[in-house]
Structure 1
Amino acid sequence: MSQAPSRTVVVLAAGEGKRMRSATPKMLHPLLGRTLLGHVLHAAGAVSATRTVVVVGHKADQVRAHLAEISPGATPVLQAEQNGTGHAVRIALDAIPEATGTVVVLNADVPLLRPETVEALVAAHELGGRGATVLAAEVPDPTGLGRIVRDADGNLERIVEERDALPQVRAIREINAGIYVFDAALLREALGKLTTDNDQGEEYLTDVFGLLAGGGHPVGVFVAADAQETLGCNDRAELARLRALLRDRVNTAWMRSGVSIMDPATTWIDVTVTLEPDSIIDQNSQLRGTTTVAAGAVIGPDTTLVDTVVAEGATVLRAHSIGAQVGPEATVGPYSYLRPGTRLGRKAKVGGFVETKNAELGAGAKVPHLSYVGDATIGPKSNIGAGTIFANYDGVNKSHTTVGEAAFVGSDTVLIAPVEIGPGAYVAAGSAISKNVPPGNLGVVRAQQRNVEGWTARKRSGTVSAEAAEKAQSEGAESAG
């Protein structure tokens, strides 16, 4: 059985990205669930590398911290002064002198790159026994990009940066995608021969191809099947374009897997989201983070779910949810806000203008209207009336409220935690409950009503209210007469 080849991945993420005009390093800008760097590292995962090195530079501490979160096995290497891509790769290889075999180099700003493409690129390089292979693409407008220059037989001759290209080279539409595979030993040798004799005065990694070809080593070009995969971004307008392209790719894949997306142009789904066939995503909806949606669930329109689990047959309409669990056949919305720790049981309901936080609703429990439920457990089949507030915070501590099975809380009620409403208990509308209500009891907290006779005539004389009252009193007197 042959031994798997030794492979090293080097990701170039040291650039400042001045045109982004951002305090955030360019490589850390988000794109549907991952940063630019995160997308590239995900694609690089197809290589099954022995080691991964990420070259950092601009705001290196921020990039290192992010790297520790998303890829703790990767090694950051500092390029203190950005003297070109060749310089960056040389620094990376100096940090890992044990690296042999295949070296894969990727720029960190090509988030549409597919793992399958990287895998095919590396396979073509290794099967061909090449010294170097470049990923290329045919594009309608190559402005700003390096060109692939081939010889009369169609073989790679050299890669020319646009700044250094003559007019006939600039007319070439086959471009360098900034993704390369090298033989480690040949790469180390060639990097030592690079010069800064170019328009930018930098060490170009692309010059390695010309050096290897001139030395008689085989170099090759692997053309991407989809040129969009090779698109990078230099400013926020280009980032927005990539985001839209990725949105379309993600939505198309989900629709072909059996998910109904009613308006793909207004539906944004992170690459980290999971959807089951026969789920329905209506227009103007955003699904982010680790959100999962089960079969038969309906999301939207106008809904945002972040790190939310929606079970089969549930409906979430015009709502915003973060870190919640929506149970089977439960209903949410419209205009609801589910905050972290919310858990809805089977057929539970959170209705219009309701906010929940760290709240558990049992099967069939209902909070239909205009309520706040914080730090609470609501038993199965209980009903919470309109305008109810679970007063969970006293300014220092947060306390818990429990509402038992099949309890009924009347409208405009305040439940002052910690308090417990027993199973089958009732709370009268307009009450402020601060003591437990035992099972089967009615809790009432109300002052006795008092009507002040003739108040409107005395205090609001000459108003439409006074006129209406006088008319009603006169009509009542005539009826009585």
Structure 2
Amino acid sequence: MKAIVLAAGLGKRMKSSLPKVVHKILGKPMVNWVISSIFEAGIKTEDITVVTGYRAELVEELLPEGIKNVRQQEQLGTGHATIQAMETINSDDQILVIPGDVPFIEPETLKMLVRESAEGFEAIVLTMKLDNPAEYGRVIEQNGRIRIIEAKDASPEEKEINEVNTGIYIFDSQFLRDALKKLSPNNAQGEYYLTDVVQFAKKAKRVILNDPQESLGINDRVQLSKAQRVAQQRINHKHMLNGVTIIDPENTYIGPDVIIGKDTIIEPMTFIYGNTTVGERCNIGPFTRVFDSTIQNDVTIVRSEIDRAMVHSHCSIGPFSRLRPGAVLLEEVKIGNFVEVKKSTIGKGSKAQHLSYIGDSEVGENVNVGAGTITCNYDGKKKHRTVIGDGAFIGSNTALVAPVNIGKETVIGAGSVITEDVPDYSLGLGRAKQVNKVDRYRKSEKGE
């Protein structure tokens, strides 16, 4: 089975400078929702072709490695887009054709269509029944042939039909190649409609979708908002049934690829997106954002941001902390208020409780980083490393000017600027001499 994902359109009603399929639902672009379902249906990466068009580079940079793409230089309709894709497909496999803006299509539905295709049909059309079909193309079956009438081309009588096209098909590859040659742009849009291909099939089948929400199309920002609400409800419901406590599901946002362990509590206004894994018995939030990170068991995160970081078990983060890409906290680390960690490893049992920046650093075990400590990692041209040994104590308001090594069990005096290495078991001081100017400042007797 091969798959063609149609993702070339602008999506005029989105009123956006971005292609429609790159707009996100719970942190994941629409086109990637579709590709994930195709993967789970058993179609391999190398068997998927994505047709891009408007601002193609924005779509292509989102595609998983190994997926082919072809550009539709002129947006002349879905039929024309399919022609472009078929030029890259040389096998005789069946062809799944699917829009890039149907994020909720279930893998089981696609598997069902694949099973139906084994019966030798030239075309299988996935349809659904709607009380208000609106802009959807109507599906008509007569004398064993299936026709799809686009809403703009439908007569008043045809618009009364409530069975509509989802835009998802499976075609016999040779039939599709032949039928595409017969297309013409004689319609209201002046485009080559893929829907016209179906009428040429002598052996075609309609398969009616049980849950119309699966093929929920997204054409404007209102529909995008509704889709996000549908996704939010489904995902949160699944996690709660799996043993996760979500205090306020309507104000908690969890992406479709997130894994959360049982007995974890998610507080309101928490956003967990990307390829994130959260362990068991954690407490996340409120007002917390986590993206593409791994959080092990028994971790507490309060009012903080975790971005592409690794947090081991029994850590405490926040409030108002920020872990940036490359941050690794080993077991039992405490990162407190207004502390930022970037591209650094913090050793087991170490603490940075207040107002500090740790960047490009290697911090050992049981280190205490005092309030206001800064690792000065950037000299204006290059980034440099700071290494702090096990058991070191860094006094408050210290600047560690990298590259620099602080020895194990070393103490750095508060207010120091350290520019040279400090050996193990030492006291490091880097202060200017204090000078007192007596009677240089005195308030007047009137208090002025």
TM-score normalised according to structure 2 size: 0.90
Deviations 1:390-448 (A, max 9, x none): 22223333332222222222222222233333222222222223333333333334455
Deviations 1:299-344 (A, max 9, x none): 1111111222211111111111222211210111100111222221
Amino acid at match of 1:57: G
Amino acid at match of 2:37: A
Which one has the bigger helix percentage? 1
For residue 13 of structure 1, the aligned residue among 4, 7, 29 is 7
The whole-number CA distance in structure 1 between the counterparts of 2:115 and 2:222 is: 34
- Determine the structure 1 residue equivalent to 2:86: 93
Change (3 A) 1:79 1:313: same
For residue 103 of structure 1, the aligned residue among 89, 95, 98 is 95
Superposed, 1:63-82 pairs within 5 Å as: 63-67=59-63, 70-74=64-68, 76-82=69-75
- Does the 8 Å CA contact 1:148/1:156 hold for their aligned counterparts? no
Deviations 1:125-145 (A, max 9, x none): 333x32322111223332111
For residue 257 of structure 1, the aligned residue among 226, 233, 242 is 242
- Determine the structure 1 residue equivalent to 2:24: 30
The whole-number CA distance in structure 2 between the counterparts of 1:184 and 1:101 is: 6
Amino acid at match of 1:461: S
Deviation at 1:240, TM superposition (A): 2.7
The whole-number CA distance in structure 1 between the counterparts of 2:330 and 2:323 is: 14
Deviation at 1:109, TM superposition (A): 1.4
1:461 aligns with 2:444: yes
For residue 124 of structure 1, the aligned residue among 111, 116, 122 is 116
Superposed, 1:55-454 pairs within 5 Å as: 55-67=51-63, 70-74=64-68, 76-96=69-89, 98-127=90-119, 129-150=120-141, 157-212=146-201, 217-447=202-432, 449-454=434-439
Change (3 A) 1:185 1:407: closer
Greater mean alpha carbon deviation, residues 440-449 or residues 360-369: 440-449
Greater mean alpha carbon deviation, residues 366-375 or residues 424-433: 424-433
SS at match of 1:148: strand
Change (3 A) 1:281 1:463: farther
The whole-number CA distance in structure 2 between the counterparts of 1:331 and 1:194 is: 62
- Determine the structure 2 residue equivalent to 1:48: 43
Amino acid at match of 1:72: G
Change (3 A) 1:72 1:174: same
SS at match of 2:379: coil
Unaligned runs of 5+ in 2: none
Deviation at 1:71, TM superposition (A): 4.4
SS at match of 1:206: helix
Count of paired positions: 446
- Determine the structure 2 residue equivalent to 1:4: none
- Determine the structure 2 residue equivalent to 1:472: none
Change (3 A) 1:463 1:219: farther
Greater mean alpha carbon deviation, residues 393-402 or residues 162-171: 393-402
Greater mean alpha carbon deviation, residues 395-404 or residues 382-391: 395-404
The whole-number CA distance in structure 1 between the counterparts of 2:153 and 2:381 is: 66
The whole-number CA distance in structure 2 between the counterparts of 1:197 and 1:375 is: 62
The whole-number CA distance in structure 2 between the counterparts of 1:337 and 1:237 is: 33
Change (3 A) 1:59 1:436: closer
Change (3 A) 1:411 1:201: closer
Amino acid at match of 2:77: G
Deviation at 1:157, TM superposition (A): 4.2
- Does the 8 Å CA contact 2:3/2:43 hold for their aligned counterparts? no
Deviation at 1:203, TM superposition (A): 2.9
Change (3 A) 1:376 1:160: same
CA RMSD in angstroms, aligned pairs only:
2.5
Which of the pair has more CA radius of gyration? 1
SS at match of 1:158: strand
